[in-house]
Structure 1
């Protein structure tokens, strides 16, 4: 059994939003090959170098994802999976919290301030303010001493909820 490549979540969100193809795609293709995924289009993608022809690469990446049975058509699911990826990669790395929260804040903005991601938006500004000053006005009772613990708790809660929902959905699909 091939080991999953976690950066696939980032690739799927980029494709779902029709983002430009860049070196992240090339690195992902090489990582996929390293864990045993093999097909001709993946090899072609891994060998691409700058300058990137976006028209050709959009077509190629669609073909790669289709051949690997990676679905990017449900943007809501792709976003949830990507948020899970971000949180999973930084949940116990407080030094990465601001960067992760920035990415999550941007997702919230891109989704017109969707409630599911609003806490991350507020936590980003609370943490960012506390870097420069003693007080912030985004999160009740958050201060320099407890902001990382608050972020950790929110990350853990979101991750647990995601995993619970995923298990339930998978059970429904199997029945």
Structure 2
């Protein structure tokens, strides 16, 4: 089999238009595409080589020759921008991160008046940094059409992947997730990280846990990392809230929503309530909120023929 040919793609935004240069076969040349604000291609031009097409873009559309950036860098910068936008939604955002972001963009070859100014605002106010951040977004034509929910969703996955790939320490990742939990009003997708954090406090001060029976101070990093791994699995398979309410029963080997059962004393008076299997009423259940329960239920739901 022949080697796959990888064609070069350059992009930039200038004025109210977005431009893209795409390499084709050597005997064809290089295409220049012009897009309006709605993303509709309004013109295309074919030139013999890269230098010629860049010169043509300058002569025809006044696109500065230094504005062109590799599309791979644009994708990377877009991801980094989404992370910044997500962090702004969360609490305790340090606006100095906007300066780091600007310096990173310049290192990737991006250039704009506001970007250069932002990179030098070390001693300035958050308001001024924010002003030039948004102006840079506009000048570079970066896509910020994301809801807060989408930004947080993607950022949570980034944090989880960073912990699993050992780019972020487990406890640092857990700390970030606390902001995500609060910002999403304790969503079932993220609340397990709040429960781990609570249990770590209980272990420190009272030597017991409430939510995670297998968690100890010694195995905390391993336990947290495993929770992030399971989180990525639940996101991969788009596990819904109904599934998160289920439990695996060791007695009947079924997965069902558990129910509360009254436990009575010898006189028939209710002594306490406990969760039991919704089918056989056994107390020997593993809820989805536990790591073991999550592992079993995920396996049954995603690999039903292999169990």
TM-score w.r.t. the length of structure 2 is 0.46
Whole-Å separation in 1 of the counterparts to 2:213 and 2:91: 37
Per-residue deviation, residues 10-66 of structure 1 (Å, max 9, x unmatched): 311144469766211101110122123333322221122313151x43332223234
Cα distance in 1 for partners of 2:104, 2:209 equals: 41
> Where does residue 173 of structure 1 map in the other structure?
none
User: 1:88: which partner in 2?
Assistant: 161
Q: Following superposition of structure 1 onto structure 2, how do residues 89-168 of structure 1 map, counting pairs within 5 Å?
A: 89-93=162-166, 96-131=169-204, 134-163=207-236
Q: CA RMSD in A?
A: 3.0
1:24 aligns with 2:97: yes
The size of the alignment, in residue pairs, is 164
SS in 1 for 2:105: helix
CA contact (8 A) 1:98 1:127 kept: no
- CA-CA distance at 1:7 after TM superposition: 4.5
**CA offset at residue 76 of structure 1?**
0.3
2:137 to 40, 43, 65: 65
Contact 1:126 1:136 in 2 (8 A): yes
2:123 maps to 1:50: yes
Report the equivalent of 1:36. 109
Counterparts in 2 of 1:98 and 1:131: CA distance versus 1, 3 Å: farther
Q: Deviations over 1:121-161 (max 9, x none)?
A: 11122234445564222313322344333322221122244
> Which whole-Å CA distance do the structure 1 matches of 2:233 and 2:214 have between them?
24
In structure 2, the residue matched to 1:77 is 150
In 2, Cα distance between equivalents of 1:38 and 1:162 = 36
Deviates most, 81-90 or 93-102: 93-102
TM-score, normalising length from structure 1? 0.74
Structure 2 CA distance for partners of 1:125 and 1:72, relative to 1, 3 Å: farther
Deviations 1:43-100 (A, max 9, x none): 221122313151x433322232343423164000100111122222222549822222
Structure richer in helix, relative to its length: 1
Where does structure 1 lack aligned partners over 5 or more consecutive residues?
166-175
